Chains A and B, each alone.
Chain A
């Protein structure tokens, strides 16, 4: 196990270093990076001064070395708009994003797992058909449209919930539903198909034969054995939530990292963009790593492959 963990940690570290390189290279995707950092009406003289000041005239390798040295110390430069260190500005907004993601994930699991279990237990019932329909729809509805429709119905038409912002628990309702819909659909589908697999096993028949009640068989015996892929998906989907947060936060004016990043992209504030993209990659890789570890811990056969 120790060897497995060490190897996966090393791999993750390599991916993070390469992600940093990718983020650095992104600046050069459109040719001249300076154009990204400055408004379009800048004079050539200003551009030249800026280029010199930020060191864009240095050889590529020197720039790369400087970027990596700074990045490893957490220094990505200052926000071009706010003049403060970009990393700090992004970190300030992290709690808002994490709290929304946590609520959305809790909501997704809270709805999806019972739906998946009941659908599998009563296969081909009306509940099962309705459940499958809802998950297919849930995967086809883009979050940003669901968000707009929820705003229209609950904030504009019924006028019972706020359109956006953060403050009370009521502010959580619409964004977390929006963010969780897709994830909940995936979980419900996966739970259902895993439960169907497990329910046909001999030990379930044994459990039933020895007279255990249906809830005990379903939740204690079946769900426990079906949970392995669910745990893996949990970590992977948490990463997806971070991506989804970009759009959900923008629609609901949620003051988190996602909305801040979209604003930075619109304002061409690239130091902030680089930090945001990089931090997301780190969290995302961390979650993938956690998924692998959880999998290896729950299923020892994996460790020796």
Chain B
């Protein structure tokens, strides 16, 4: 992307990028950064406060909290990226089809989108996740099922606007094939809004996964997810503050980093977008 080289970086954007890089580094290098494994328990040393050996303390099974937070970053980032990628692709296709074909296809698709959006996101995700059942795959599926609609609505709106522009009209008048119009003339103009929306959606999906796992659906122990760690920590809130503090901080810093990057992308790439 040509614009990529010319993006002026502001302070909050840079701070966001640093946060995201730290979290990504933690996720990638987890085995190198900690001598412990994420599910290595040691009951003799359960519920120990932070110390030189266990920087963030240990949980009720004596597992090292720092290690579990590092591995939790893998779960969070993987879920954020996969769900955004797949739901974005689905929304892109649906949005282009609805916006380009128009007519009855558009009406039907947009009614479906309206219905999807008539449920608060977290409630719908929670319900779908309870129906599909627990586990990593199902939480990913849940977020895809609930997440594609925002992309479909955005893309459809953009396509409608682009379709009316003179250069698209001109291409059609010259007898360009539909595929050529879609791939050469529409698609390149859709990337910017999609990238901006995706950067904001990543944070929303990561927090949604944590919330759903926190409530006992989604990612199940012993696999480390920040949400299920907070759920376990809630039980020990009277005697182990570190079990709720550190996974939550990791979640906040990740969401903050991704949001700042998203805000920066939106402000620099396309200030007229508001979402």
Contacts and interface: CB of A to CB of B under 8 A. Distances in A.
Contacts of B123: 242-243, 246, 261, 277, 280
B269 interface: no
B216 A266 contact: yes
B270 interface: no
A145 B248 contact: yes
A288 B114 CA distance: 11
A302 interface: no
A106 interface: no
Contact of B260 (A136, A142, A266): A136
B244 A149 contact: yes
B120 A14 contact: no
A135 to B, nearest CB: 11
B214 interface: yes
B121 A243 contact: yes
A209 interface: no
A240 interface: yes
Interface string A191-219: 00000000000000000000000000000
Given A144-B211, A149-B248, A151-B237, A242 B120 contact: yes
B91 interface: no
B127 A15 contact: no
B230 interface: yes
A248 to B, nearest CB: 11
B260 A145 contact: no
Interface in A1-36: 14-16, 18-19, 21-22, 26-27, 29-30, 36
A131 to B, nearest CB: 14
A152 B38 CA distance: 26
B246 to A, nearest CB: 11
B256 A22 contact: no
A94 B231 CA distance: 26
B122 A265 contact: no
B123 to A, nearest CB: 5
B98 interface: no
Interface string B122-138: 11101110111100000
Contacts of A27: 131
B244 A152 contact: yes
Nearest to B207: A142
A190 B214 CA distance: 30
B128 A140 contact: no
B113 to A, nearest CB: 10
Interface residues of A, number: 46
Contacts of A268: 130
A29 B120 contact: no
A262 interface: yes
B210 interface: yes
A152 B233 CA distance: 11
A285 B41 CA distance: 48
A145 B120 contact: no
A281 interface: yes
Interface string B195-238: 00000000100010011001111000000000000100110011
Contacts of B118: 15-16, 19, 281, 284-285, 288
Given A30-B131, A30-B133, A265-B130, A247 B120 contact: no
Interface string A234-248: 000001101110110
Nearest to B142: A29
A19 B118 CA distance: 7
B115 A15 contact: yes
A29 B122 contact: no
A142 B241 CA distance: 18
Contact of B132 (A29, A139, A140, A145): A29
Contact of B259 (A15, A26, A140): A140
Contacts of B20: none
Contacts of B114: 15, 18
B18 interface: no
B82 to A, nearest CB: 20
A149 B249 CA distance: 10
9 contacts: A22-B115, A142-B211, A247-B122, A247-B211, A265-B217, A266-B216, A277-B124, A280-B120, A284-B119
Interface of A: 14-16, 18-19, 21-22, 26-27, 29-30, 36, 136-137, 139-142, 144-145, 148-149, 151-152, 156, 239-240, 242-244, 246-247, 250-251, 261-262, 265-266, 268, 273, 277, 280-281, 284-285, 288
Interface of B: 12, 111-112, 114-116, 118-124, 126-128, 130-133, 203, 207, 210-211, 214-217, 230, 233-234, 237-238, 241, 244-245, 248, 251-252, 255-256, 259-260
In the A-B complex, the 9 residue pairs with the smallest Cβ-Cβ separation, listed nearest first, are: A243-B120, A145-B248, A140-B256, A265-B130, A140-B255, A18-B115, A281-B118, A243-B122, A148-B244
